[in-house]
Every structure is written in C-alpha cells, then in structure tokens.
Structure 1
Amino acid sequence: MKLLELLQNEAMKSKRLILMILVSGVCNAMLLVLINKASEKIDGDRSFIFLASILAVMLFLLAQRYILRQGTKKIQNVIEDIRIKIIDELRFAELSAVEALGNSEIYARMSDDTQRIAEASLDLIKALQAMVLVLFSFIYIGTISLPALVILLLGIVIGGVFFFYNNKSAATVFKEVARKDTAFYQALSDMLHGFKELKINRQKSDDANIHYRMAASEVNTFRVKARFINITSQLATESLFFLVLIGVVFVIPQLQEYSDPNIVKISAAILFLIGPVTLVIGSIPSILEASQSAENIENLERSIRSAKSNTDQYHVGKDNPLDLQHEIALGNLYFEYPSSESNGFKVGPFSVTIPKGNITFIVGGNGSGKSTLLKLISGLYYPDSGIITKDGVPISPDNYQHYREMFSVIFADFHLFERLFGLGLIDEQKVEILLSKLKIDHKTKFKSNTFSEIKLSTGQRKRLALITALLEDKQAYVFDEVAADQDPIFKKFFYEELLFELKALGKTLIVVTHDENYFHLADRQYKLQDGQLISND
C-alpha cells in the first residue's frame, strides 16, 4: 500500500514507537487472560491477578500515551516533508508545465490528500495495535482449544477472501473520488475567482451554482459508495464472528468433551475480539482513501519532476544575473502550446532585437501573443525552436537562470506579495519615498519588509508591483499593461517620466501597451497579430 510506503521511512526511525505498539497490544491481550484467570478463582486469593491487571492497564495507558504523542509527531513530520518536497519540486519546474497542471490539482493534493494521510495514519496505528491484540488472543485461544482456533481461522480466511474482493472494488471507487475531488476544487475556484462576474449576472451565477452542486454531489456519491462497500465488509465480518461463536458453543462440544469453563473462556475471548477486529475493518476505508491520496501525491510529484528542466538545476541564492552590454536578440523563435491548452496557439517564428537602454513597445490586440512573447523573452518559456542570445552569446541550459535574473517582470495577471522577498532588509524610508512618488502612500504603509495593505484596486496594486520592481533594481524591466487601469495623470507620469528615468539609468524596458497616444515615445515598436510579427517600427 502506498500509505505504508510513505510512512515506512519515518517508522523505521522510531523503533521505540513500534515497540510501544507491541507493548500496548500485549497488555490488552493480557487483560483477557487475567480476567479469565480471575473468573476461575472466584472463591480463592486473587490479589496477584488484581495487581497484575492494574499493572497491565497502567502499561497499556503509558504505551498508548506515547504512541499517540509520538505517532502524531511522526505523521506530521511526514506531512511537512510531503509539502516541502512538492514546493521544492514546483520551484524548479517549467512555468508551462505548472500552468498545465492547474492550481486545483495542486491544492487538492496539498490540502485534502495530506489531511487524509494524517487522519488515516493514526487509524493505521490503532489498527496495528488491534492486530497485535488479535494475534495474541489467537495464541491464547489456541492454548485452550485447537478446534476453536481452527474454526476461528477458517472464519478469518473466508472473511479475508470476501474482504479482498470487496475492497478491491472500494480502491477503484476511491480513485474516482480523487478525480471528482479535483473537479470540485476547480468548480470552487471558479466560484471564488469569478465572484464579481457571477454577482452581476444572476443567470451565470445560477448556472455556475448548478455546476458546483453537481461537482459536490458527485464527490459525495462516490464517497458514500465506497463507505457502503466497507459497511458490507464490516457486517459480513461481524456475522462471521457470531457464526464462529455459535460453532464454538454448539459444534465443538459435540466433537470433544469440554468443561463449561473452557467454553466460557473461548466465548469470552471471541467476544473480546469483535471490538478490535471491527476497529481494524472500520479503519480500512480511511486507509484505502489515504493510500489513494499517497498515490495522487506521488503522481503529482512525478508530473512536476518530469516538467523540471535542466536549465533549473541551479544553486539557490548563488545565481548572479548575466551582464547585459549591448542587446537581447531572438532568432527565429517559435513556441506552441500543447493542443489541450489554448487550442494549440503558437507564436513565431520571428526575430526581434531589444537594444540595451532602449524603450521597446509591444503592441497588438487581445490574444495576439504578447504575453507569450514576454514569457519567451524573460526566459519563463523555453522555445520549441530558435535561439535567444545576449550580446551575441546563445542562452544555454548552463546560464538560463542567470539570464532570467536580469529581469524584473510585472505580468497582466501578476501576483502581489504582501512581503518583499529576496531583497533582504529594505530601507523603509526609501520605500516610503516611492509610495509617495507613485501616489499610493495614503493607501498603504511599509514596515518590517511588509506592506500594511494590499487589498486595493487593480490600478493601486499595479503601483505597488511597480515599487517592488523598482526596488529589485534589475537590468531589464518587462511591464505588461502596467499603465492600464490607471488615471490619465499617472499614465502620463508612467510614460513620460518613469520610463525615461529608468532609461537614463541604462535600464532596458519592454512594455506591452494599448495607449496609442504614447507610441511615439518608444525607441522600437513590435506589433503582433495571431502570434505573428506583422510590423517592426
């Protein structure tokens, strides 16, 4: 089982935990033996049995306390390792591959699946304790009556065969549950991210709600189906135990003479076993579901790992940007999305030259390929063919990350971090000056490397993104529609002052814009249409 594979490394580190599981199971089984012994000596001295029973209970409780505390700690260590491992894998994956995976898939694996693994792992520990108890109870029954043990084992074998085929079906259902979970998260994501669009259009909201309800209902249907399969197994197993009990009480006495105390002891032992066996069976659905979750996580890691590029094998924190002296050039660059994404949209082949210290505008209608071109220029997408050169030197797997480090980028769908990462301790006064310069100081403050407020309008958030980019002080800036959603005064400031201030500092500026009134300010201008370069001014 994938769950056991996932936990075995951590379990091997804690032999004491395994020992305590054995101790708790043995102590529990000893109580059965001691209680039966005590029932034989109703009129005799039972003080030793009494003290032994108290000792067994105390040892059981101490072992149980240790198991639950250490087990919880070990399980959480496993969950932490999973999450850190996935994040580390994601950091070095290609952007296009992460986009193909989708946020819903990653969220489902990182939240629901890890939570199921944590919960089922504790169930697994309890099941192991119960199995130790069952094993020692079998040994005890065998010392009293071999025929009773044979009947009991026969019942277990019959139940095991039924259980195997039943839970094979449950495992298949849990695979479908995982798929439906991802669809549910996608529907939930649509409801949250598209809230404004749904709020303004009731028909759209109603249709989206129906889709969301259907996704939630499908998850529920398959979960219930899987649980029903297990309930059937549980009832069948309990029925087998009662049949075994009937066999012990009515059949064995016909085969061989037994004293009443022995039959009572065996019956008590079998009744004692029903609880632990039911616990083991009851834990199987969560263990199966967690095993499927472990497989989901393994598949996610495999997908991310296969999306990792050799260009991303670099040492964190030790990547100095390349030094741009003359120009960036794209030679016959071509890129095509997989057919399942963006309907196989492609850009190129085209050749573009971006001189150092120049202002380069990229213009074109929506869907013309501007954002894709920016991702190629900044090294976030790898071209299917063609070459990127810096000062005439080709960008290769050995220096791709160093090439990326030249850029500071604000995409149209940018993410604004509340905290400034990767800049060390920033001079707060310097940030306050920029906040004032970009007319945003009345909306947010900066302290301890953190903006006090980022839940602002789109235009205001873009100004904060600009401040972050300026603080990064990179050689090249890529601005994708940064001036959109801004008032005319700020637009004028952005095009006529800020861009030229950066140009005077020797910065290379690549700007996507629709503002025709400012096209004349660019040193170069490229126009795209349907992924093709149609003019070069």
Structure 2
Amino acid sequence: MRNLNLGRVAAGLLRPYWRLALAAVALGGLGSLATVGILALIDDALKSGSSPMRALGFVLLCPFMIAAQYGSFRANSWIVQNVMADLRKSLVDDILKAPVATIERMQKHRVIVALNHDVEQLTVFVRGLPFLLVSVLTACGCVAYLFSISWRLAGVAALAGVARVLVVRRMLDSAYKIFFVEREARENLQQDFDLLVEGCKELRLNQPRRSGFRERRLRAKIDEVRDLTHDNFVQFTAIEAIESASAFIIIGALLAMQQTLGEPKETLGAFVVAMLFLREPINAIVGYIPMYGHAEASFRQIVKLREDFANTESWSSNGGNAAFSTIALVGVTYAYPGEGEQPPFTLGPIDLELRRGETLFIVGENGSGKTTLVKLLLGLYPPTTGAILVDGAPVGDADRDAYRQRFSAVFFDYCLFDDVAMEAGDADAANDYLTRMELSTKTAIVDGVFSTTALSAGQRKRLALVSAFAEGRPVLVLDEWAAEQDPTFRRAFYSEILPDLKRRGKTLICVSHDDRYFDAADRVIHIKDGKIV
C-alpha cells in the first residue's frame, strides 16, 4: 500500500507538467529506438560487412539519438526543479496553516530535515522516473532484439535472469531497513546541529559540557550517519556488482553451451554484443533502487508531518481592522496533552470579557497559565471547550484566522522580522515610535525594512514593539515586554508608552510581573493554577 501511495504522490507531483513529461518520455523512447537501431546496424555490419546505406543510417541515427536524449534530459531537469519548488511550497503552506500548539510541540529539526533532506530525496526519485522509463524501454527493445536473434539463447538467459532477480530481492529486503534507520539518524543529528548554534554561548562557557556534547553527541551521531550511509552504499554496491557479474556469467554459460544449443558462432557473437549493450539499461534500473528506498523513507516522514499539520481552519485576507466592542471568553478551557505519568495542565474554565480601548493586565506566577490565556485570546489555540465571542458572535474554524487579524503581539519568545508590515499611511507614526523608543539613531525604516536589527536584547524588544505598532491592529498584546528593559525605560513604558498607545485607540493586553506599575491598567486579573482568582 505504501508503494502505491508513493507512486500516487509521484504522479500527483508530475501532473501539472504531464505534457512536458510525456514529451520527455517520448524523446527518451525515440532515443532508445535509435540506440537499438544503431545496435542492429552494427550487428548487420559484423555479419555482412559495411555498405553505403548502413553508413548513412549510422550517420543519421547517431545525431538523432544525441538530440533526442538531450531534449529528454533538458525537459526532465525543468520538471524536476518545478516539482521540488512545488513540494517545498506545499509544505510551507502546511506549516503556515498548522495548529500553533502542534508546531510548538514539534521539534524544529523535524521540520528542517523534511524541508531539505526529504524534499530532495523525493525530488531525486521523481527526477529518475523518466530516465527509468527510458531505461526500461531500452531494455525491452534489447530483450526483443535478443529473442529475434535466437529464442533458445534468449530463453536460457531469461531463466538465469529470474534466478538473478531472486538473489537481488533477498539482498534488498535487508538493505531497505537501513534507509529508515539512516533517516532517523539524520533527524537526530539535525537536532544537535540546532543546539550547536543555539547553545554556542553556553558551550563556550562550560568546557566539560562542550567536550561531552562534542564527543558523545555530535561526533557519535556524525559517525552513526557515516556508518549507516556506508553500509547502505556497500549493500547496493554489492547488488550492482552481482548484477554486472551475472551478465558475464550468463555469457560464459552460453559460450559453454554453444554446441548443445546448436547455434552458429555468428549468431552467438551477435547475441553476446546485444547482451553487453543490455547491461547499461539494466544497471541504470538497478541503480534506481536506492533512490526509491530513500524516497520511500522520506515519503513516510513527509506524510506523518502533513498529518500532524492538518488543520480545518480557512485562511483569511481581511478582518485586520474589523470593529468590535467586546471580545468574550465564555466557559473556555484548554487542555494540554499529558506527558508520561504527569497529569495534563488544563486552563479554565475562563469567563472573561475584553472591552475595546481598555488596558488589561494579566498577572500570576510562572506556569500559572498566563501565556496560554493570551494565546486563547489571540485565537492561536482553539478552546478545548467553551467559546470565544466577538460582540456576541462565536468564532469558529471558518473565521478564526480573520479573528486573529485584529491583534498584534510581542511575545516573550518573540521573533523579530526585518520587514515592517505597515498599514497605508502609518509610516510617520512608525517613525515617531522609532524615535520614542530611542532607536532612530540605531536603525531606520527604509522601503518598509529595518536597516538593521543587530541591536542589544533590550533594543530588539523595543524594535519588536515598533513593528507591532506599525501593523495598525486595534489590539496590542505585550507578553512581559518590559522584562528586558533597564529601570528607566521600564518606568517610561508603564507611565508614558502605554498611556500614549491607549490615547491612540489601542486595546492593550499586558502580561506583567511588575506589581509597582499595576496602576497603569484599567483592570488586573490574576491567574493561579489555570484559573482567574
């Protein structure tokens, strides 16, 4: 069933380019016919000597074969590059639509390996399909030619070929297992590569950890991938060696059985030449087997990833400035999946109403559920139970993305993009906030892009606020924004920036531990153990 699914995926990837693919196959088939024709001319010349007609046929068929193969390979290259781009775009769309909670639980290295290694392996598989078909057509033409030379010799060779296939099949059973182990090892290695970059400061400070990470994890996993790849290569090299040697073994057996089979030397000679030529397409077919194995391993991972990313939501292109008076959470809960023997954490039930234009502080201890509540308000997490209402109307899967467009946010673990998604006419206001954040001498907005984001941690957090403000959304969410600011700027944030944002009509939701500044809020709610207290 998996094999059928992989074939369907390959066919689906090629479907938009079926005309070009058909042309590539047709050119490849014509090239194969020209090759068989050249082989027949050589055989006739060996039997009957050269002639002007044979020479003319040879002169015409050689450039035709070259042109047909070149056209086939060029068309195939264009198809392959488009298939790779289409597959990556499709995966990117899946990730953009995927539930945020799924992406947060999923480790980054799985996605990176899928986008790079797995896409390339599937592309190599698709790239080889036209070549495989050309090789199969060429092999079929050669086999038909062999039977036309002598059905006795061809029959003996076919029986030997069946025995050869049985031996290769047994070797393939063990070789295929390595593909999946190797794929998993590559994923584990990518995880440690991520840590190598993300943890560079910690590794530099701690020599014992650095040495252990280097020897027991990085080098050990690099060696594991090396050994698995080598074992894989050895297995298939052995298969190719057996395949190559078997042709000569069959030829040797036919030579030994010449008198028994009663075939003249000329016929046997022509048969041997054709069999030697048949080795090339057969070797190409055998060489395609590891491509298929790698593709199947990658295919399984991509299918698993896409299943994990499945989402029933619809994308929206509007709703960013949709007017509202209230946003209410009614009986909302959110349950995290349990891990091991630990009971799952559940937020709620929460009943909360957010009024447009107010400043709401959400406070509580670490792990109490503040960030989870914020993600529910933002529509990033769908409620496990309960409902989110906008002016009394429930938010469902069909309009959750439109609902989210009312919000801008600077998360505690924010991501700072260098482009600024400004609403039309907001450039002056964005530059004003760049100055207010004391960043106008550090960076500038040039053609909608920050000239640099290489700033200190606190300055980057300010820049993230400028970017969020420039989006022009009615609701601004700030998750512990002031935590990385110096005392002077922290005081300015609560006493000047928040009041200014409120005057500009923003509805503000702030997660904060700064109890000295709670008076900056219109309302403060306390979260404890997943509930409002």
Partner of 1:180: 185
Q: Contact between 1:147 and 1:252, CA under 8 Å: does it hold in 2?
A: no
Q: Determine the C-alpha separation between the residues in 2 that align with 1:101 and 1:282.
A: 35
Q: Determine the C-alpha separation between the residues in 2 that align with 1:228 and 1:211.
A: 25
Q: Determine the C-alpha separation between the residues in 2 that align with 1:207 and 1:54.
A: 66
Q: Determine the C-alpha separation between the residues in 1 that align with 2:423 and 2:75.
A: 37
1:484 match: secondary structure: helix
Out of 30, 42, 45, the residue aligned to residue 35 of structure 1 is: 42
1:50 is the counterpart of 2:49: no
1:215 partner amino acid: K
Q: Determine the C-alpha separation between the residues in 2 that align with 1:130 and 1:370.
A: 62
Partner of 1:461: 460
- Return the offset for 1:41: 3.7
**1:108-119 to 2 correspondence within 5 Å?**
108-119=113-124
Partner of 1:235: 241
Residues 261 and 399 (structure 1 numbering): CA distance in 2 closer, same or farther, change over 3 Å?
Answer: closer
Out of 199, 213, 220, the residue aligned to residue 214 of structure 1 is: 220
Q: Determine the C-alpha separation between the residues in 2 that align with 1:111 and 1:194.
A: 22
1:439 is the counterpart of 2:446: no
Partner of 1:8: 11
Partner of 2:155: 150
Partner of 2:334: 335
Q: Determine the C-alpha separation between the residues in 1 that align with 2:107 and 2:196.
A: 16
Q: Contact between 1:480 and 1:513, CA under 8 Å: does it hold in 2?
A: yes
Moved more, 195-204 or 459-468: 195-204
1:500 is the counterpart of 2:506: no
- Return the offset for 1:19: 0.5
Moved more, 242-251 or 206-215: 206-215
Q: Determine the C-alpha separation between the residues in 2 that align with 1:467 and 1:35.
A: 77
**1:83-482 to 2 correspondence within 5 Å?**
83-209=88-214, 210-256=216-262, 258-305=263-310, 308-309=311-312, 312-314=313-315, 316-319=316-319, 321-325=321-325, 327-340=326-339, 344-421=344-421, 423=422, 428-482=427-481
Structure 1 residue ranges without an equivalent (≥5):
none
Q: Contact between 2:423 and 2:472, CA under 8 Å: does it hold in 1?
A: no
1:76 is the counterpart of 2:75: no
- Return the offset for 1:427: 6.0
Residues 213 and 368 (structure 1 numbering): CA distance in 2 closer, same or farther, change over 3 Å?
Answer: farther
- Return the offset for 1:143: 1.1
1:323 partner amino acid: A
1:418 match: secondary structure: coil
Q: Could you list the per-position Cα deviations for residues 320-368 of structure 1 after superposition, in whole angstroms to 9, with x for gaps in the alignment? A: 554221x333333221211249973332233333333222212233323
2:481 match: secondary structure: coil
Q: Contact between 1:321 and 1:403, CA under 8 Å: does it hold in 2?
A: no
- Return the offset for 1:142: 0.9
Moved more, 425-434 or 152-161: 425-434
Partner of 2:29: 22
- Return the offset for 1:23: 1.1
Q: Contact between 2:337 and 2:344, CA under 8 Å: does it hold in 1?
A: yes
Q: Could you list the per-position Cα deviations for residues 461-480 of structure 1 after superposition, in whole angstroms to 9, with x for gaps in the alignment? A: 11121111111222211101
Q: Determine the C-alpha separation between the residues in 2 that align with 1:47 and 1:338.
A: 81
1:353 match: secondary structure: strand
- Return the offset for 1:509: 0.9
Q: Could you list the per-position Cα deviations for residues 203-260 of structure 1 after superposition, in whole angstroms to 9, with x for gaps in the alignment? A: 222233222233333333333333232222222222321221012211133221x322
Question: What is the percentage of aligned positions where both structures have the same residue?
Answer: 27
2:505 match: secondary structure: coil
Q: Determine the C-alpha separation between the residues in 1 that align with 2:383 and 2:526.
A: 19
TM-score (norm 2): 0.91
TM-score (norm 1): 0.91
Q: Contact between 1:248 and 1:266, CA under 8 Å: does it hold in 2?
A: no
Structure 2 residue ranges without an equivalent (≥5):
none
Q: Contact between 2:320 and 2:407, CA under 8 Å: does it hold in 1?
A: no
